[in-house]
Structure 1
Amino acid sequence: MIPVRGYRDAQVAVLGLGRSGLTAALALRAGGAIPVVWDDNEAARQKALDEGIEVADLTKDKSWEDVVSLIVSPGIPHLYPTPHPIVQKAWSHGVVVDNDIGLFFRSYATQDWEKFDTIPKVICVTGSNGKSTTTALIQHILNAAGRNATMAGNIGRGVLDLPPARDGDVVVLELSSYQTDLARALAPDVAVFMNLSPDHLDRHNGMGGYFAAKRRLFIEGGPDKAIIGVDEPEGRFLANQIRQDKTGDPVIAISSGQKLQGQGWSVFARKGFLAEWRKNRQVASIDLRDIVGLPGAHNHQNACAAYAACRSLNIPPKVIEAALKTYPGLPHRCQVLGKGKDVLFVNDSKATNIDAAEQALKAFKNIRWIVGGQAKEGGITALAPLFDRVKKAYLIGEATTDFASQLGTTPQSQCETIERAVAAAVADADAGDVILLAPACASFDQYPNFEKRGDAFIAAVTPHLDG
């Protein structure tokens, strides 16, 4: 655990006692602060009491008399669509509002680092899609290269649950827009911006606010290296804002699908090949086409981002190439489960929006598509140009009726559940087909999260796998 610095003997309130909130309270106490906590859930409050942490009803003005800071968990709105009432209480009492990411950046570096031969590094990854895979891939490459790398943040463990830094450590953080928006301190050594597509717009009052939340990591964080996906206008704008001159420094531009030219440092993937260019010449190339853990153009962008991050830490291209070939992939993210009777089964339960589902559809052909759940605004109409890749759709969840009409003439079957969808798809499948779970929907109509939905798919598929 990383003891929080700067609050010794001061009272700090924590709102929300999920994974990050309870860890923040414990880390505050480890650093000498006096945490007081609140959660609307009685079981969560009891868990804090079991840890010996004081529970205070922060809806009451009397609870704020000695509080100097409020730490807010990422799932709690602090501005849009409406600030949480307890956040507004903090404002009215003059209490500064922060989150665990801000606490991490003010506490991770210590005087002990002066004794280290290699100063620890923090790599932060943000964007709409691909964050988790890129974060995990960076950690995988660094560990394969002999560096001690740990991932945390929006994936794995809470940031304050990490151990104190050791000589040469690298922390790789996946950061959501909720986390970057509120943190009062941001200081990554390397920051990665993957891409931007509409998501969480209610929490940011539109695309402008959403982009602004992610932009903070770069403009206020001031990384030594900024790895920027330039396939959307926002990425090109951000890269232009950060670069100092025509050499592009400190930007490493990345792309999936376009060749990047110029004097700067770039990494891009085209037709299945990753290329690194510097000063208008190619310095390395990797064939990505047969890497099982990274199927499709969207994963090639993830590979470019991870490659660039590791090159910024001077990991050799050949070492990165070898590590890419051993990357197993993350569960529920275009996860290749295996084959049965020459039919490929792919679990992309994390494809909770149409942009992620689009990438999955682009990655395969002859698709038997399991789709549906709790639909998001717009449904799947924007995916119509890819329906010719779908041999048949198998509809599940709340979205069944709406998606049936949106699919038009695409062959379809209304299955309601994943188990029925898998059974129907297996019965219909021909050799060379791909049975793909890419719901383009939230899971909350039938499952508490996308992981449980993916687990249900795996359980239904397992009896049909070879071996």
Structure 2
Amino acid sequence: MIEVQGVSGQRVAVLGLGRSGLSAARALRAGGAQVLAWDDSPEAREKALEEGFEIKDLTRDGAFGDIAMLIVSPGIPHLYPQPNKAVANALREGVAVDNDIGLFFRSFAAAGWAAHDVPPRVVAVTGSNGKSTTSALIHHVLQEAGKDVQLAGNIGRGVLDIDPPEDGGVVVLELSSYQTELARALTPDVAVFTNLSADHLDRHAGLGGYFAAKRRLFAEGGPDRAVIGVDEAEGLFLAGQMAEAPGDDRVIRVSVNRKLAGPGWSVFARKGFLSEYRKGRQAGSIDLRNIKGLPGEHNHQNACAAYAACRTLGLSPKVIERAFHSFAGLPHRSQLIAEKDGVKFVNDSKATNVDSALKALKAFGKIRWICGGLEKEGGLSALAPALENVTKAYVIGREAAEFSLQLEGVKAEICTTMARAVEAAMSEAQPGETVLLAPAAASFDQYDNFEKRGEDFIEEVRSRL
């Protein structure tokens, strides 16, 4: 556990008692704070009460009269579309509002670090798509290289649940916009920005607010190194803001759309080959085409970002390449779950928006595509460039008929349920084809989350093999 610093003797409130909320409450108590907790769920309150935390309704007027700080869990809005009542109360009374990420960065450096030969470092990864795979890949490479490394944040353990790092240790954090937008301290040693596409727009009042939340990871603390995907205008702008000159190698630009030239530091992938350039000369390369855990252009972007981050930590290209080959990938993200009679079965349930689904469709040819669910804003027109790869679509979800009407030029069957979709796709699949779950939609019309949807797909496939 990372004990929170600077709170001894203070009364600190925690709003939201899920994984991150309870973790923050424990770390605050370990740091000497008196913790008051609140959640709208009676079950969550009961669990906190069993752990000895005082329960206080923070939504009531005057609730913050003796409270020094409010710690808010990621899913609770503090500004848009409208602030939670407890957050509004705190702000009106001048109480500082933070989250577990802010607590982590203000508390990470401990007194014992004076004895370290090499201070521990933090690599923080954000972006719209690929941040989980990129974070897990960095963690895997460092682990294979024999480093003391921990994975936390949106993936792995809660940030305050990790062990105090050893000499030369590395903590890899996956951070969502919900986490970066509110943290009062953001000081990673290496910050990674994968890409940007429209998502969570109601929470951030539009794309500009969403990008601003991501940008805080770079602007607030000034990382020693910034790895930035520059295939979108926002990433290109961010790289320009962070670099002092064209040759400033504190910024590593990443692309899968074009060769990156110039005097600076860059990593790019073209036609399945990763290349690293520094000061106009090639410094490393990897053939990504036969790495099973990283299929498709979107995973090549993840590989470039992870490669760049690991290079900043002193790893050689050969060490990174060797680790790439043993990376199995993450569940529900271009996950190869089976292969039989020349047909591949791939679970990309995490493709919950059009942009991520587009990347999944581009990664494979001759696709039997299982799609559908709770559609997000913007429609499906952006999928058009990859629909030529689709042999047939099998549409699930409560609004399957409406969803299928947007798939112009694609033969589609309305299946509604996962069982029916898998049965139909498997019965019709031919050698050389891929049965791909890439929904391009949220799961909440039928499942609790995308993990449950992916698990259902896996179960239905394996029960028929």
- Counterpart amino acid of residue 158 in structure 1: G
User: Greater CA deviation, 248-257 or 177-186?
Assistant: 248-257
- CA–CA distance in 2 between the matches of 1:153 and 1:328? 20
Please state whether the residue corresponding to 2:455 is helix, strand or coil: helix
Please state whether the residue corresponding to 1:64 is helix, strand or coil: coil
Partner of 2:18: 18
- CA–CA distance in 2 between the matches of 1:55 and 1:280? 60
- CA–CA distance in 2 between the matches of 1:386 and 1:304? 23
Partner of 2:77: 77
Deviation at 1:11, TM superposition (A): 0.3
Deviation at 1:228, TM superposition (A): 0.5
- Counterpart amino acid of residue 221 in structure 1: G
Runs of 4+ in 1 over 3 A off after TM superposition: none
Please state whether the residue corresponding to 2:331 is helix, strand or coil: coil
The reply to whether residue 415 of structure 1 matches residue 415 of structure 2 is yes
For the 8 Å contact 2:371–2:438, the answer to whether it is kept is: yes
Deviation at 1:405, TM superposition (A): 1.1
Partner of 2:101: 101
- Counterpart amino acid of residue 141 in structure 2: I
- After superposition, the C-alpha distances for 1:362-411 in whole angstroms (9 at most, x for unaligned) are 00000000000111113322212322110000000023111221113311
Deviation at 1:338, TM superposition (A): 2.2
Percent of residue pairs identical: 63
User: Greater CA deviation, 243-252 or 346-355?
Assistant: 243-252
- Counterpart amino acid of residue 122 in structure 1: V
Partner of 1:339: 339
Counterparts of residues 12-411 of structure 1 (less than 5 Å): 12-411=12-411
- After superposition, the C-alpha distances for 1:341-367 in whole angstroms (9 at most, x for unaligned) are 110000000000000000000000000
- After superposition, the C-alpha distances for 1:70-124 in whole angstroms (9 at most, x for unaligned) are 0000000010010111111001111000000000000010121110111101000
For the 8 Å contact 1:128–1:199, the answer to whether it is kept is: yes
For the 8 Å contact 2:99–2:182, the answer to whether it is kept is: yes
- Counterpart amino acid of residue 347 in structure 1: N
For the 8 Å contact 2:263–2:279, the answer to whether it is kept is: yes
- CA–CA distance in 2 between the matches of 1:387 and 1:184? 43
- CA–CA distance in 2 between the matches of 1:412 and 1:45? 46
Deviation at 1:62, TM superposition (A): 4.2
Deviation at 1:248, TM superposition (A): 2.4
- Counterpart amino acid of residue 442 in structure 1: A
For the 8 Å contact 1:244–1:250, the answer to whether it is kept is: no
User: Greater CA deviation, 130-139 or 152-161?
Assistant: 152-161
- Counterpart amino acid of residue 446 in structure 2: Q
Deviation at 1:167, TM superposition (A): 1.2
- CA–CA distance in 2 between the matches of 1:63 and 1:34? 15
Deviation at 1:60, TM superposition (A): 2.0
- Counterpart amino acid of residue 3 in structure 2: P
For the 8 Å contact 2:256–2:297, the answer to whether it is kept is: yes
- Counterpart amino acid of residue 229 in structure 1: G
For the 8 Å contact 1:186–1:221, the answer to whether it is kept is: yes
Deviation at 1:245, TM superposition (A): 1.4
- CA–CA distance in 2 between the matches of 1:60 and 1:406? 47
- Counterpart amino acid of residue 190 in structure 2: V
For the 8 Å contact 1:267–1:274, the answer to whether it is kept is: yes
- CA–CA distance in 2 between the matches of 1:61 and 1:124? 37
User: Greater CA deviation, 159-168 or 225-234?
Assistant: 159-168
- Counterpart amino acid of residue 305 in structure 1: A
Please state whether the residue corresponding to 1:221 is helix, strand or coil: coil
For the 8 Å contact 1:379–1:403, the answer to whether it is kept is: no
- Counterpart amino acid of residue 220 in structure 2: E
Deviation at 1:464, TM superposition (A): 4.2
Please state whether the residue corresponding to 1:70 is helix, strand or coil: strand
- Counterpart amino acid of residue 312 in structure 2: S
CA RMSD of aligned residues (A): 0.9
Please state whether the residue corresponding to 2:5 is helix, strand or coil: coil
Deviation at 1:63, TM superposition (A): 3.0
For the 8 Å contact 1:257–1:271, the answer to whether it is kept is: no
Please state whether the residue corresponding to 1:182 is helix, strand or coil: coil
- Counterpart amino acid of residue 361 in structure 1: L
Please state whether the residue corresponding to 1:191 is helix, strand or coil: strand
Please state whether the residue corresponding to 1:226 is helix, strand or coil: strand
Please state whether the residue corresponding to 2:286 is helix, strand or coil: strand
- CA–CA distance in 2 between the matches of 1:193 and 1:409? 35
Counterparts of residues 421-440 of structure 1 (less than 5 Å): 421-440=421-440
- CA–CA distance in 1 between the matches of 2:2 and 2:408? 54
- CA–CA distance in 2 between the matches of 1:125 and 1:317? 20
Please state whether the residue corresponding to 1:413 is helix, strand or coil: strand
- CA–CA distance in 1 between the matches of 2:405 and 2:371? 13
The reply to whether residue 443 of structure 1 matches residue 455 of structure 2 is no
- CA–CA distance in 2 between the matches of 1:149 and 1:355? 31
Please state whether the residue corresponding to 1:140 is helix, strand or coil: helix
- Counterpart amino acid of residue 267 in structure 1: V
For the 8 Å contact 2:355–2:382, the answer to whether it is kept is: no
- CA–CA distance in 2 between the matches of 1:324 and 1:112? 34
Deviation at 1:320, TM superposition (A): 0.1
Unmatched segments (≥5 aa) in structure 2: none
Unmatched segments (≥5 aa) in structure 1: none
Deviation at 1:149, TM superposition (A): 1.1
Please state whether the residue corresponding to 2:63 is helix, strand or coil: helix
For the 8 Å contact 1:151–1:173, the answer to whether it is kept is: yes
For the 8 Å contact 1:100–1:159, the answer to whether it is kept is: yes
TM-score using structure 2 length: 0.99
For the 8 Å contact 1:275–1:284, the answer to whether it is kept is: yes
Matched residue pairs, number? 465
User: Greater CA deviation, 157-166 or 439-448?
Assistant: 157-166
User: Greater CA deviation, 57-66 or 82-91?
Assistant: 57-66
For the 8 Å contact 2:357–2:440, the answer to whether it is kept is: yes
User: Greater CA deviation, 149-158 or 326-335?
Assistant: 149-158
Deviation at 1:290, TM superposition (A): 0.5
- Counterpart amino acid of residue 115 in structure 1: A
